[in-house]
Amino acid sequence: MSKSREKMQLTVELMRRGAVMLKEPCSLDNGVQMRYKGKVYCTTHDDLDAALSAKEITFGDVAATMRDLLLSKLKENMALLESEKDPQKQEQIVSLMAKSVDLLNKLESSQRT
């Protein structure tokens, strides 16, 4: 298959998936530009295959990763708090833990709505 035919098929697939053709030509090579998932691609010189294979990141993906990280940090801080003798440092650790718990609650409530 020729390179130009392959580019044309990739362009059509992008449009089928929701890409929008822009009226402004590419400033580098005067090619046709498309906006897809918030990014602008030139159909002449950009890698359209990469645009099509890019995984969409969802809030759910980020929230799940953040939840795991917060739980891990809470566990680490619990161990720190248990061995800390300085009341000022204890207060800092407890404050950080409270913020983490608050953020966890917000994440969980945003997932329910």
Paired with 33 in beta bridges are 42
**Per-residue pLDDT tens over the stretch 58-97:** 788 788 899 999 999 999 999 999 999 999 999 999 999 9
Give the span between the Cα atoms of 49 and 14, in whole angstroms: 9
Residue-wise pLDDT for 10-60, tens only, equals 889 989 988 999 999 999 999 899 998 888 999 989 988 888 887 667 788
Distances (CA, A) of 63 to 33, 56, 67, 81, 106: 33, 14, 6, 26, 10
Compute CA distances 109 → 23, 45, 105, whole Å: 42, 44, 6
Q: For residue 61, what pLDDT is reported? A: 79
